[in-house]
Amino acid sequence: MKRDRLLLAVLLLFPFLALGTAPLFDLDEGAFTASTTEMFLRGDFLSSYLLGEPRYDKPILIYWLQAASVHLLGHSEFTWRLPSALASSLWILATYAFVRRVRDHQAGLAAALIIATAAGLVIITRAATADALLNLFLACAGYATWLWRRESDWRWLYAAWLALALGFLTKGPVALVIPGGALFLWCATRRDWRTFLAWALAPGPLLLFVAVALPWFAIETWHEGSGFLTGFFFKHNLSRFDAPMEGHGGRPFYYVPVVLLSLLPHTALLLLALGRLKTVWRDELLRYGLLWFLTAFVLFSFSGTKLPHYVYYGYGGLVLVLAAQAEQRAARWLLALTGSFTFALLLALPILLDQALPGLKPDDLLLARDLGREFGAGYWLWCGSALVVSLLPLLLRPLTPRFALYANGLLAGGTVALFLLPIVGEVQQAPIKHAGMTARGLSGPLLLYGINTPSLQTYAGRRVEKRAPRAGDLVFTRESHLGELARAEVVFRERSYVLARMR
C-alpha cells in the first residue's frame, strides 16, 4: 500500500516533469500566451486579443489563470504552463478518486497512470492551452453525473453543473455537448429518459450554471458588441463542423490512428477492450465510459475541422474501459508487445526523421539541419534500457500485467517529457525565442512578415503587428522572404529565421 501511495504521488507530479524545459510551441501555445501577454500590454483583462485583433476563439478562463500565474511567479515557460499542469494533476487525482470509489484501488491507479503517461496526453497535459483545463472539467462533470445517478445525492448534480459551467468558460459549448451526449446515449440504451431529464432540467443546478458561466459572456457582448457572439458561437464553434478552419481538415477515419498512437504504450488495453466489447457493454459503468468516448470520437470524426487533441475530450470515459482490462490474462504479453513497439519506434525515430529531411521545403530543411545531433547519448541509453525493461514480462513469467503497465507508462511518458518535447522545441522554436529576446531591447515597431509565430510576442514582451513593413520597422520573417524586403538590414539570424531592420 505504501508503494501504491508513492506511485500515486509520482503520477500527480508527472505533469510537472520538465515542464519549463521546451520553448513555447507555435501555433497553439504561442497564440494563447501571446493573447495573455496582450492583456498586460493593453491593460484589458476582460477581452482577449492577438496581434491587435480580437481573439474570439476561446472564452476567458485559461487567460485569467495564465495571467495570474505569470503575474505571481514571473514570465517563463514553466509559469505559462503551470495552470495546465495543475489542471492535469487534478484530472489525474479526480480520475483515481472516482475509479477507486466505483471500482477499486488498483483500477483507480491504472486509470490515473494512463492519463498521466499516454503519449498524446503527456503532450496535452503540459501545454499552455485550454485543453488540459477542459479535460479536467469534462472528467469532473462526467464522474459527478455518474455518482449522482448511483448515490441519489443531489450535491453531485450541483458539482456536475459547476464543472460544466467552468468548462463552458474554458472552451464553450463542447463542455456541455460531450457530458450531455454521453448521458443521453447511456439513458437511451436503458430507455431511461427520466434520468436524463432530471439531469438536464434540474432548476437549482441550471441556475448555478447560469450564475457561473454566463456573466462574462454577457459583459463581453456588451463590451465587444454582437460581433463577439457571432465570432465565438458561429465562426469558432458551429463553423468548425461545416468546413476545415486554418487548414485543419481530415478524412472521416482521421481519429483511428490518432487514438492508437496517442494511447501508446497502453494501446494493448484498447485492443483487449475491443475483443471484449460484449462484456464491456453489459457493464453499466463501462458502457457509460464507452459512450462518452464515442460521443467525442464520432462528433469530431464528422467535423470539418480536425485536430488530434479533440478526441481526447472522450478519454475521461475511455480510461474507465481501459483500466478494467489491466488485469486480464492476456494483458501481460500484449502490454509487453505494445511497450516494446513504442520503444523500438522511439529508437528508430531519429533515423526516420533524417530520412524525411530531403523532402522538406528549403526553410524547414535549414531549420532542421541539426536535428540528428539533438538526440544525444542519453536519449539512446534511455530508450534502449526502456526497450529491455518492456520485454521482461515476455521473458519472466512472475512479472504481472501491472508491472508492464506501470513500467512502460512511466518510461514512455518520461521519454516524451524529458527528451522528445525539449528536442523538438529546441529545433523548431528556439530561434523564435531567441529572436523575441533580442527584440526586447530594440526600438521600433515589431512585425511578423510571411509567417505566423505568435510566441514572438510572448518572448518579446511587446506588441507585435501584421502589416506591410515600413522604414524603421523590425521585421521577423524566414530566409525565403528576406529577398522581398528591400533595404532590410539583418540584426538577428538563426537557422531559417531572420530579424531585420527596415531602412
pLDDT by residue (tens digit) across 68-121? 999 999 999 999 999 999 999 999 999 999 999 999 999 999 999 999 999 999
Give the CA dihedral 117, 17, 453, 34, nearest 10 degrees: 110
Judge whether 358 lies within some domain.
yes
* Residue 7 pLDDT class (50, 70, 90 cuts): very high
Is 365 a member of any domain? yes
pLDDT grade, residue 237 (50/70/90)? low
CA distance linking residue 498 with residue 431, whole number of Å: 9
Say what the pLDDT of residue 374 is: 84
Q: Do 456 and 493 have their domain in common?
A: yes
Q: Which of 323, 339, 371 is the last residue of a domain?
A: 323
Pairing of strands 474-478, 446-448: parallel
How does residue 354 score in pLDDT terms, banded at 50, 70 and 90?
Answer: confident
Query: Measuring CA to CA, which residue among 322, 216, 221 is closest to residue 264?
Result: 322
Domain boundary among 323, 355, 377: 323
Query: Is there a cis peptide before residue 27, judged by omega within 30 degrees of 0?
Result: yes
Scanning the structure block, which residue is given the C-alpha cell 509567417?
A: 451
In a domain, 50, yes or no: no
Do residues 206 and 127 both lie within one domain?
A: yes
Range(s) of the domain holding residue 415: 331-428
Residue 238 is which amino acid?
L
The whole-number average pLDDT for the span 180-209 is 97
Do 212 and 243 belong to one domain? yes
Within this chain, do residues 135 and 216 fall inside the same structural domain, yes or no? yes
Q: Within 10 A of 108 (CB to CB), how many other CB atoms are there?
A: 21
DSSP per-residue string spanning 225-255:
-HHHHIIIIIIIIIHHHHS-STT----TTTH
pLDDT at residue 327 is higher than 90: no
Which of 337, 347, 178 lies closest to 269, judged by CA?
A: 337
Q: Do 442 and 424 share a structural domain?
A: no
Average pLDDT, the chain: 92
The string of pLDDT tens digits covering residues 161-173 is: 999 999 999 999 9
15 lies in a domain?
Answer: no
Please check whether residue 158 lies inside any domain of the structure: yes
Domain count, the chain: 3
> Is 428:367 a contact under the CB 8 Å cutoff?
yes
Answer yes or no: do 232 and 166 share one domain: yes
Domain match, 343 and 294 both = no
Segment 270-313, tens digit of pLDDT: 999 999 999 999 999 999 999 999 999 999 998 877 889 999 99
pLDDT band for 236, please (50, 70, 90 cuts): low
Residue 13: inside a domain, yes or no? no
Q: State the pLDDT at residue 244.
A: 55
Could you tell me if 372 and 449 lie in one domain?
Answer: no
Q: Is the domain of 134 the same as that of 255? A: yes
- The answer, yes or no, to whether residue 240 has pLDDT greater than 60, is no
Q: What pLDDT shows up at residue 481?
A: 92
Residues 201 and 108 reside in one and the same domain: yes
Domain-terminating residue out of 428, 450, 475: 428
Whether residue 25 is contained in a domain is answered as: no
pLDDT at position 58: 86
121 and 139 co-located in one domain = yes
Using the predicted structure, report yes or no on whether residue 197 has a pLDDT greater than 80: yes
